[in-house]
Amino acid sequence: MRSLLLSLLVFISTNIFAQSDEEVLRDFYTHALEEQQSYRWLGELCAIGPRLAGSEGATEAVKWAMKTMESMNFDTVYLQPVEVPHWVRGEEEARFGRFPLSVTALGGSISTPEGGITAQVVEVSDFSMLDSLGELGLLEGKIVFYNYPMKQHYIKTFHAYSDAVKYRWMGAAKASEYGAVASLIRSLSTRIDDFPHTGTMTYRDVKTKIPGGALSTMAAEWLSVQLKRQPDKKMLLRLESEDKGRTTSYNVIADLYGSTYPEQIMVLGGHLDSWDLAEGAHDDGAGCVHSMGAAQLIMDSDVALKRTLRVVLYMNEEFGLDGARTYAQMTHDQRHVLAIESDAGGYIPRGFSFDTDSITLEKIRRFQPLFLPYGLFEFTNQGSGADVGQIQDANAILGGLRPESQRYFDVHHAATDVYAAVNARELEIGTASIAAIVYLMDFYDTFKPQD
Amino acid sequence: MRSLLLSLLVFISTNIFAQSDEEVLRDFYTHALEEQQSYRWLGELCAIGPRLAGSEGATEAVKWAMKTMESMNFDTVYLQPVEVPHWVRGEEEARFGRFPLSVTALGGSISTPEGGITAQVVEVSDFSMLDSLGELGLLEGKIVFYNYPMKQHYIKTFHAYSDAVKYRWMGAAKASEYGAVASLIRSLSTRIDDFPHTGTMTYRDVKTKIPGGALSTMAAEWLSVQLKRQPDKKMLLRLESEDKGRTTSYNVIADLYGSTYPEQIMVLGGHLDSWDLAEGAHDDGAGCVHSMGAAQLIMDSDVALKRTLRVVLYMNEEFGLDGARTYAQMTHDQRHVLAIESDAGGYIPRGFSFDTDSITLEKIRRFQPLFLPYGLFEFTNQGSGADVGQIQDANAILGGLRPESQRYFDVHHAATDVYAAVNARELEIGTASIAAIVYLMDFYDTFKPQD
């Protein structure tokens, strides 16, 4: 009898809550789609231009974020100083005979010498071929060209990126071990076009640093054909850049205090810096305005969160995660229960992924039916994000918004990552989805047991 | 004991089939994404230009489709004559004072008189306001401007379209009843930009036909502000067009005979015609190459369909469904078991919708787990499509591919519906999804009981 009563009570209260949750979510999505506040903010942020850490654009973006979040109803908005690198791209050129190829330097590449490098190009399909040719001494004095395409068969393009990114990250370092004078990769793009894509590279502990660049996928295809016909022809490669040392920038942080457990923190985060080739509309302007917009939706609703909602706009995700590391150090004595990152673009969301135990994930999955009308169906155990991943609090659930990934690597780190590539409705559905998951997890205390 | 044995058998066979189905599907998706055959065909089709029924472009498209399908391994490829209207757009212009506004004629609109119409503009928010003003005689001699926006809060933009399309379809006819001299709508677009969107309109049995046009959403917003300041100012509206009567065009049809039940037909369809403002890449080039590509994937696989697979590229969906009606008449004595239409764009698919009974839908839904890895999760009872909807066979299951709809009305019937707006991967995932559902339904005989 008692268990029947309990079941009934649970049934009734669940139903009451379920109805109410549906209404809360409908309000979030309706409000987001009608107001388009995230999209309008993204327009302002993109108008600043590129925001590479250390650049004037990044400084402007910090000011814009501070001013904008101060105009919202947060309890506090503050800056957290972060030491960041300041690397500056110069002139760039690649010519195969008289034909120009679209090229760009990878982030952190040293400059080619005055007048550039003129050398034969050796195409390799992968590291194994590099090793074979290198051990025969065939790469000495050559420009190594890694023509490794992102694999099309992965349904989620991030898997193709994970598979191919090692050539960008280590290609120059490994080629230099065999005496190569420069390294070029085929841009990490799932599309054939003429825009080169940049991104970080490492020199690790190499003896001789050589410049590293990326050709557009179209230039890579063209060069590959030409090299079969004219393997001895030389390429002129000029990738100018300057390492200006380190400078100070900022994470921009805003707190909305919780009503019941203000000491428990729920982070919404994106990174404010972008690459220098474009406005970084998807990467990661979208994540910044997703986070700000979700906070705004909650402020504009009748929802009173029990825990503190914190928006963190990280500085320098792209070039060393400095902001995330600084944030983690500075807040190591604070109690984080949740951190949701958006750093996979402003495309239509398919769900969320979490770095957490399976019991917690099962609890979160119970919310899935509430999200189905909005097209979010995946609640997976596939990781969170680079920035929130730095949070060391074992009690924190780390998560990430998972937008549709088909178009992401069309624009990622390239000149095509501009405001016009973002669809207002897709972006806003992401904003509302973040507000919704935070509301549900806070309301139903869907967290790990605290100490 | 017997039931246990049966259960075991079902369990074993289900598992064997499940494994095999997963492999078949993986091959379809991998092949589609790596080959990108649909995307390459779409490039060829779009290179022809606009394909409005009756136009030279439509004729070229018929030739292209015939030639391309003849080069595939179909058992037969043939043309089906269709009588279609031939309406031709002329020069178009709208000026409010000295300011030009982006405008286009709706399909089937009569031409404005020589020199255009110059008249005051009266903005109405909906038909109810039209009636109020009309009954007061305030629309006599005026240009009626329906400024009814597509509602942003619908998650599926097709719902917003259904809600708003009546102003395009009946706006001119209803305004003419109150003595208006022309009718303009706000373009049916979920986006604010400067491209007008066309589409069909009807004169029903009105006494006086008046021209009907569409302003871009940006022009509509601007005009609305101006009309509040200068309600008496006149607009010059010139929408030239010519009705050239009717002409003959064709459905293009290709059959791949079934191995066991060749008399049972499974249709894959899209429409070959487009509006005249652009290449119709999403509407409905995508549906044509989805259908052709799905057939190609099946031909290239080890799958031997039991039933006949028929690709139907319909002529003139946009301007009267002539091709679909002709097809239905000409094949009324054939046995259709399935018809899947793709006419909602080449965006990433979210699932399929069906016009069928709930028992059949439940059977189809059992395939859903096989589609989840590819992001298709919705198998709903929400209709099929305009063309396959004409099929009168009560035993046929009618269905439609349901791509993500957020961006569809950005480009629908406007100059922005071009090849560059289609993402190869999103398109190809649609192609593979159609091949997959046809394979599964055929293999498992997931049809209505036949007489």
Q: List the Cα angle B206/B209/B212 in 5-degree steps.
A: 115
Q: CB within 8 A of B10, min separation 6: which ones?
A: none
Whether pLDDT at B79 is above 50: yes
Alpha helices in B278-371 (DSSP H): 286-300, 322-330, 358-365, 368-371
Buried b / exposed e over B296-309, threshold 16 CB at 10 Å, is: bbbebeebebebbb
**Residue A448 DSSP label:** P
Q: Do B423 and A404 touch (CB under 8 A)?
A: no
For chains A and B, what is the number of CB pairs under 8 angstroms? 63
**Do A429 and B155 make contact, defined as CB atoms within 8 angstroms?**
yes
Distance from CA of A406 to the nearest CA of B (A): 6
Phi-psi region of A116 (alpha: psi -120 to 50; beta: other; left: phi over 0): left
**Rounded-to-integer distance, Cα B204 and Cα A317, Å:** 61
Whether residues B423 and A429 touch (CB distance < 8 A) is answered with no
Whole-number Å distance between alpha carbons of A119 and A233: 8
User: Over 70: is that where the pLDDT of A16 sits?
Assistant: no
> CA angle at residue A235 from A199 to A277, to 5 degrees?
25
**Could you tell me if A370 lies within 8 Å of chain B, comparing CB atoms?**
no
pLDDT above 80: residue B18? no
Report the pLDDT value the prediction gives residue A1, as an integer from 0 to 100: 44
CB contact under 8 A, A348 and B375: no
Rounded Cα–Cα distance for residues A252 and A250 (Å): 6
Q: Which tens digits make up the pLDDT trace of A117-166?
A: 999 999 999 999 999 999 999 999 999 999 999 999 999 999 999 999 99
Chain B contact present for A426, CB below 8 A: yes
CA distances from B373 to A249, A339, B429 (A): 41, 26, 11
CATH 3.50.30.30 for the B91-244 domain, yes or no: yes
Q: Which helix (H) or strand (E) holds B339?
A: strand B335-341
Distance of CA A2 to the CA centre of its chain: 51
Residues of B whose CB is below 8 A from A429: 155, 406
Name chain A contacts of B406, Cβ cutoff 8 Å: 348, 423, 425-426, 429
* Chain A from 339 to 358: CB within 8 A of any B CB: 348, 350
Contact B377 A373 (CB under 8 A): no
Asked whether this chain's domains A20-75+257-443 and A87-244 adopt the same fold, the reply is no
What is the ipTM for the molecules in this complex? 0.92
Determine the Cα–Cα distance for residues A15 and A375; give it in Å rounded to an integer: 22
Predicted TM-score of the model (pTM):
0.94
Q: Nearest residue of A to residue B429 by CA position?
A: A155
CATH number for the domain whose boundaries are A87-244:
3.50.30.30
Per-residue pLDDT for B403 more than 70?
A: yes
Spatial CA neighbour of A156 closest among A306, A344, A10, A3: A344
pLDDT digits (tens, 9 = 90+) for B165-182: 999 999 999 999 999 999
B429 and A155 within 8 Å at the Cβ level: the answer is yes
Spell out the domain ranges in chain B. Answer: 23-75+257-443, 91-244
Closest-CA residue to A407 (of A164, A150, A157): A157
Cα–Cα dist A88/A343, whole Å: 24
Whether A356 shows a pLDDT value over 70: the answer reads yes
Nearest residue of A to residue B349 by CA position? A404
**Does the CB of B150 have a partner CB in chain A at under 8 Å?**
no
pLDDT bucket at B388, cuts 50 / 70 / 90: very high
Q: Select the CATH number that applies to the domain covering B23-75+257-443 from these four: 3.40.630.10, 1.20.120.530, 3.90.650.10, 3.30.70.270.
A: 3.40.630.10
- Beta pairing partners, A308: A265
CATH of segment(s) A20-75+257-443? 3.40.630.10
Instruction: Give the nearest partner residue to B34 out of A34, A152, A372, using CB atoms.
Output: A152
Residue A100, chain B, CB below 8 Å: the answer is no
- If one counts every other C-beta atom within 10 angstroms of the C-beta of residue A47, the result is 11
CB contact under 8 Å between A375 and B350, yes or no, is: yes
| Cis preceding linkage at B284, omega within 30 | yes
* Residue B358 main-chain phi, psi, to 5 deg: -70, -25
The CA distances from residue A413 to A100, A123, A188, A346, in Å, are 21, 23, 9, 14
Decide if A425 and B375 are in contact by the 8 Å CB cutoff: no
Count of helix runs (H) and strand runs (E) in chain B: 12, 14
Q: Check pLDDT > 90 for residue A382.
A: no
Which residue in B has a C-alpha nearest to residue A410's C-alpha? B423
- To the nearest whole Å, the CA of A371 is away from the closest chain B CA by 12
Give residues with Cβ within 8 angstroms of A433, minimum separation 6: A349, A352, A371, A374, A376, A401
B157 at A interface, C-beta within 8 A: yes
Q: Check A404 against B190: CB less than 8 A apart.
A: no
Answer whether A271's CB lies under 8 Å from A318's CB.
Answer: yes
Instruction: Report chain B's mean pLDDT, rounded to a whole number.
Output: 95
pLDDT tens digits, residue range B209-241? 999 999 999 999 999 999 999 999 999 999 999
B412 in contact with A at a CB cutoff of 8 Å?
no
**Band (A272; pLDDT cuts 50, 70, 90):** very high
pLDDT(A2) > 90: no
